[in-house]
């Protein structure tokens, strides 16, 4: 999995378009546990698309849960819940973050199967590889500065961990169910309570085609008019259209032979955007932004260095 090396991904993902990397990212908020609930640590769970991401983890290729830290052991990459990512030197007994400039967190190796992330806020995240069953260590416990905790339960598809429950003691404020044969995943907030709400992810050919959201105050039945939806289409390069619940549409075009990579890389080049067009609802005029890039890209390919995009905005 390719990861940009600079640590401003959280801000860029909110904007959708990252001119530096030429990639279109998409983040949709799903669930938030406020700090005041049973004094539990805060957790903001979102659905995030990264075109440079890996396999389908039950959410569609390129999609993952944002807001959760993880440590990819083969690539020695630590991804924080903020979206920042860092390279790690991992020995038998310890780990060291090699490109950390500010001491905003600490990363420790508890043993060969468990790691600990301590944030500046005092929150602690315990990551596990489930006794080496997974190549990616994922959070199983979150602790606030006052010692209150959340537990995260995972199920496995082969060697792939998938989040299944968020737990506060004996209660499960969020539950995720995967039906791979039907290519449907449901995310339920507050199951069994009056505030229950279900998000339904519909996949086609392993890609997320539609995310159905419950309308406020509607019953949980998935039939209209109790839901609205996000819709997505793709090409090999990434997302090509995104239609929001309001009817606004974003269209993204790419240059397939985009950024060249050094010899020995897993691919010879990665695509980058050449245009991004927003068509708002109610027949408002479209806004098109075009992008052009030099060979000096964010991955420091053939010639090395990093060059910003040339951006033009048309209405």
pLDDT on residue 222: 52
What residues contact residue 251 under an 8 Å CB cut-off, 6+ apart? 240, 241, 275, 276, 277, 279
Q: Which residue has the higher pLDDT, 228 or 36?
A: 228
Q: Which residue has the higher pLDDT, 95 or 269?
A: 95
What is the rounded distance in angstroms from the CA atom of residue 1 to the CA atom of residue 74? 10
- 30: closest CA among 188, 222, 248, 143? 188
pLDDT on residue 304: 42
- 255: closest CA among 235, 275, 234, 274? 274
Band (pLDDT 50/70/90 cuts) for residue 20 is: confident
pLDDT on residue 301: 46
pLDDT > 70? residue 91: yes
- Average pLDDT value over all residues in the chain: 84
pLDDT on residue 315: 41
- 49: closest CA among 179, 268, 230? 230
Domain ranges of the chain: 72-169
* Bridge partner residues of 229 (DSSP): 212
- Each residue's pLDDT tens digit, 67-84: 999 999 999 999 999 888
pLDDT on residue 37: 60
What's phi and psi for 296, nearest 5 deg? -90, 90
């Amino acid at each position: 999995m390719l990861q940009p090396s600079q640590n401003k991904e959280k801000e860029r993902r909110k904007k959708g378009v990252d001119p530096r990397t030429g990639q279109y990212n998409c983040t949709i908020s799903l669930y938030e546990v406020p700090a005041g609930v049973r004094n539990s640590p805060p957790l903001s769970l979102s659905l995030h698309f990264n075109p440079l991401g890996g396999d389908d983890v039950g959410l569609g290729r390129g999609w993952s849960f944002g807001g959760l830290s993880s440590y990819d052991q083969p690539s020695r990459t630590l991804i924080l819940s903020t979206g920042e990512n860092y390279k790690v030197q991992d020995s038998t007994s310890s780990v060291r973050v090699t490109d950390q400039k500010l001491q905003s967190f600490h990363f420790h190796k508890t043993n060969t199967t468990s790691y600990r992330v301590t944030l500046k806020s005092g929150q602690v995240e315990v990551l596990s590889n489930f006794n080496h069953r997974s190549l990616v260590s994922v959070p199983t416990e979150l602790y606030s500065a006052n010692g209150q905790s959340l537990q995260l339960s995972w199920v496995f598809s082969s060697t792939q961990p998938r989040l299944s429950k968020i737990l506060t003691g004996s209660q499960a404020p969020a539950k995720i169910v995967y039906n791979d044969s039907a290519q449907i995943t449901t995310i339920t907030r507050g199951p069994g309570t009056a505030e229950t709400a279900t998000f339904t992810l519909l996949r086609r050919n392993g890609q997320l085609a539609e995310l159905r959201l419950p309308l406020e105050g509607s019953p949980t039945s998935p039939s209209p008019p109790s839901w609205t939806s996000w819709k997505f289409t793709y090409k090999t390069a990434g997302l090509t259209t995104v239609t929001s619940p309001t009817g606004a549409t974003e269209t993204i075009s790419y240059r397939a032979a985009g950024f060249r990579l050094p010899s020995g890389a897993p691919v010879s080049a990665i695509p980058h955007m050449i245009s991004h067009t927003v068509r708002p609802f109610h027949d408002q005029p479209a806004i098109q932004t075009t992008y052009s890039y030099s060979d000096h890209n964010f991955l420091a390919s053939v010639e090395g260095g990093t060059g910003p995009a040339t951006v033009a905005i048309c209405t």
